[in-house]
Amino acid sequence: MILSDGTIRDLLDKGELVIDPLEDDQIKGQGIRVGRQIQPASVDLRLGTHFLKLDEHNIPFIDLENPAKYISFDKEEIILPPRSFMLATTMEYVKLPNNLTAFVEGRSSIGRMGLFIQNAGWVDPGFEGEITLELYNANQLPIKLRAGRRVCQLVFALMDQDAYYPYRGKYQGQRAATGSQVYFDVENEQR
pLDDT in tens, 133-162: 999 999 999 999 999 999 999 999 999 999
Please spell the DSSP secondary structure of 20-76, one letter per residue.
ES-PPEEE-GGG-EEESSEETTEEEEEEEEEEEEE-TTS-SS--TTSPPPEEEEE-S
Q: Average pLDDT of 77-94?
A: 96
Q: What is the pLDDT of residue 1?
A: 95
Q: Average pLDDT of 81-104?
A: 97
Q: What is the pLDDT of residue 32?
A: 60
Q: What is the pLDDT of residue 28?
A: 61
Domains belonging to the chain, first-starting first, are 5-189 (2.70.40.10)
Among candidate residues 130, 134, 187, 189, the one labeled active-site is 134
Is 134 among the residues known to form the active site?
A: yes
